[in-house]
Amino acid sequence: MKCGFVSLVGRPNVGKSTLLNSLLGMKLAITSNVSGTTRNVIQGIYNDIDSQIIFIDTPGIHKPTHKLGNLMNKKAYNNTEGVDVVLFLIDISKGFGKGDQYILDRIKDKGVPVFLLLNKIDQIKDKTILLQKINELKELYDFAEIIPISAMKNNNLNVVVDCIKKYLDETEKIFSEDDLTNVTTRFIMAEFVREKVLELTKQEIPHTVTCYVENYEEEEDLVHIQVLIVVDRDNVKKIIIGKGGSMLKEIGSRARFDMEKFLGKKVFLETYVKTLKNWRDEEKYFLELGLKDEDE
């Protein structure tokens, strides 16, 4: 049995969470076309007939402007240590930029095989341009593999898995086949709400909003969930609530759909919005809101 750990790294909004979800065949990490969506390190466990691969989705590495940003970068860098393979994603439709080089400079000396995944190839119509870009990128570093993919369209993901297996050791399974992830169901439910906030309030950057499950009660065929939406400014709170509560109602409706699909049960969802000024710079809030581990 081939088993091991694989870390996904890259700039914000290059498609790491989409790739994780596509590889697992289920929605585990939230996605958004707004950069910086992923905050926590999420492990997704892939099983097939001859392998178990623990994928680690990390926050996008970026230039931090507050303590939360520093925490996110620390989580991303820490999770390139001790893994068997690093998947370095870039958005090939936008090319290889300074932000990508910044990340490469920090992972290339880890002594771990680095795959360069050229995501969003479905957005490049002229494949001769794609081949040209691949030849240029070969000169940057001795990548273990260079694989063009589309995480959204599931293009070449089977190639990614097959290549990963070549770099894994033969060993017993690390987790049981019933294990799907390291994060709690409460965390996933809160993330579903945050995803819908980002979908419906595109003018606001994602770091100003976080969500936290205050109450979770599961019955035989119904789950009661209360989610607190935390923002750092009153004007953002007004946007999320909307006129007559219309926006908050739509957020709840969309989130409840994903919750019911994930849980396989009906969900009674209540959402609230609270302002905590400057919470992104207050470490005391990180643990409470599930953004920091107790031993950090």
pLDDT of 13 above 90: no
Task: Identify the pLDDT of residue 280.
Answer: 55
Instruction: Return the higher-pLDDT residue of 55 and 37.
Output: 55
Could you give the CA distance from residue 56 to residue 43 in angstroms, rounded to a whole number?
4
Q: How many CB atoms lie within 10 A of CB 136?
A: 11
- 169/129 Cα distance (integer angstroms): 36
- Percent of the chain having pLDDT more than 70? 78
CA distances to 34, 65, 218, 248 from 90, rounded to whole Å, are 16, 22, 40, 34
In terms of pLDDT, which residue wins out, 178 or 272? 272
pLDDT single digits (tens) 175-217: 777 667 767 788 889 889 988 988 888 765 555 788 888 899 9
What is the per-residue pLDDT for 41?
61
Q: What percent of the chain has pLDDT over 90?
A: 41
* pTM of the predicted model over 0.75: no
Q: For residues 163 and 2, is the Cβ–Cβ distance under 8 A?
A: no
**pLDDT (0 to 100) of residue 88:** 95
14, 119 in Cβ contact below 8 A?
Answer: yes
Say whether pLDDT at 89 is over 80: yes
Helix residue spans in 25-167 (DSSP H): 67-78, 98-107, 127-137, 157-165
CA atoms of 36 and 58, how far apart (whole Å): 10
Phi-psi region of 110 (alpha: psi -120 to 50; beta: other; left: phi over 0): alpha
Predicted confidence at residue 138, as pLDDT, reads 93
Across 48-57, average pLDDT? 89
Mean pLDDT of the chain: 81
Structure tokens at 150: 């589309």
Q: What is the structure's pLDDT at 182?
A: 64
H/E segment holding residue 75: helix 67-78
274-287 mean pLDDT: 61
Read off the pLDDT of residues 110-158 as tens digits, 9 standing for 90 and up.
Answer: 789 999 999 999 998 888 889 999 999 999 999 999 999 999 999 999 9
The helix or strand, by DSSP H or E, that contains position 73, with its residue range, turns out to be: helix 67-78
